[in-house]
Amino acid sequence: MSDLPLKIALAKVPPIKCQGIKTKLVPFILSGIKWKSDGGRWIEPFLGSGVVAFNLAPPKALLADTNNHIIRFYKSIQSGDITREKVGRYLAKEGKKLSERGEYHYYELRKRFNTGGSPLDFIFLNRSCFNGVMRFNRRGEFNVPFCKKPNRFTQSYITKIVNQIAWVTQQMRDKQWEFIVADWRDILAEAKPDDFVYLDPPYIGRHTDYYNWWSEDQAIELAEQARQLPCGFALSMWLENRYRKNGHIEKYWNGLEIKVSRHFYHVGSTESLRNAIDEALVIKSM
């Protein structure tokens, strides 16, 4: 059973990095939600790094994203096609080439990934690109530049990544988890009364083109459809920073329970995206 609330001191970190990752907020999120699983599924239409689901480790889950590379990567771990040993050997080999050839090798491998979509190439790029940003152009090509650190893949760094792979593998073991590439609307339509839906959509007004553009119209549609769910749900959304307040929450998520935590973003494409911010957890329990 993975009943909530759940109190954990520190969240563990999955192998994939992306902007908006909720690692520091996981204890706040999991301690703020009430849900008795009782055979229901934990549903995430916006999986991203997967940090919330992996730290909760529910018996049943429906985990989705429109980014097919994220889903393929985690499905490969689930099936055993990707293991800590395989990733360790791969990163040692490609890391050696990177240290010898520098950015030339990075861009050559990025081109290879954009042609073939290898999950191993995906983790290499994700952990050696500029500032930990995950970004794709409108053709679906990974386009983040090199981090300018040719000696990135030291033995200690490789060990850190493979340990994250091993942890994710353990969290998935003997679980009924389905990873799927799908639009959030299709995933919400799958929700049943015993399920719980966690929503972590791209944030309005922030750099969100990690794979698909997120518009205000879609955000409004999400609010409308979430209110019609037959089960409980929680939404993560920025509430306020030193420059402005998010009026979207007050306008479209009013009447629901809201809990607030202050957070600091260390991952972002510009300095202006790396400031303290109040994060809201909007909750509807059944």
The 10s digit of each residue's pLDDT in 181-197 is 999 999 999 999 999 99
**Phi and psi, residue 55, nearest 5°:** -75, -30
pLDDT at 277 over 90: no
Assign 244 a pLDDT band (cuts: 50, 70, 90): confident
CATH superfamily of 23-78+175-284: Vaccinia Virus protein VP39 (3.40.50.150)
Per residue in 201-218, pLDDT (tens digit) is 987 655 444 556 688 899
Instruction: Answer whether 49's CB lies under 8 Å from 133's CB.
Output: no
213 or 285: which leads in pLDDT: 285
Per residue in 229-243, pLDDT (tens digit) is 999 999 999 898 888
% pLDDT > 90, the chain: 78
CA 46 to mean position of chain CA atoms: 7
Assign 153 a pLDDT band (cuts: 50, 70, 90): very high
Distance, in Å, from the CA atom of 16 to the CA atom of 172, rounded to the nearest integer, reads 15
Return the DSSP state at 208: -
Q: Does the reported pTM lie above 0.85?
A: yes
Specify the CATH number of the domain 82-167.
1.10.1020.10
Q: Which of 166, 181, 162 is nearest to 71 (CA)?
A: 181
pLDDT at 274 over 60: no
Q: Do domains 23-78+175-284 and 82-167 have the same CATH topology?
A: no
pLDDT at 268 over 80: no
Domain positions in the chain: 23-78+175-284, 82-167
Asked which of 89-103, 148-162, 244-258 is least confident by mean pLDDT, the reply is 244-258
Q: Which of 87, 55, 86, 44 is nearest to 179 (CA)?
A: 44
Asked which of 5-14, 68-77, 164-173, 263-272 is least confident by mean pLDDT, the reply is 263-272
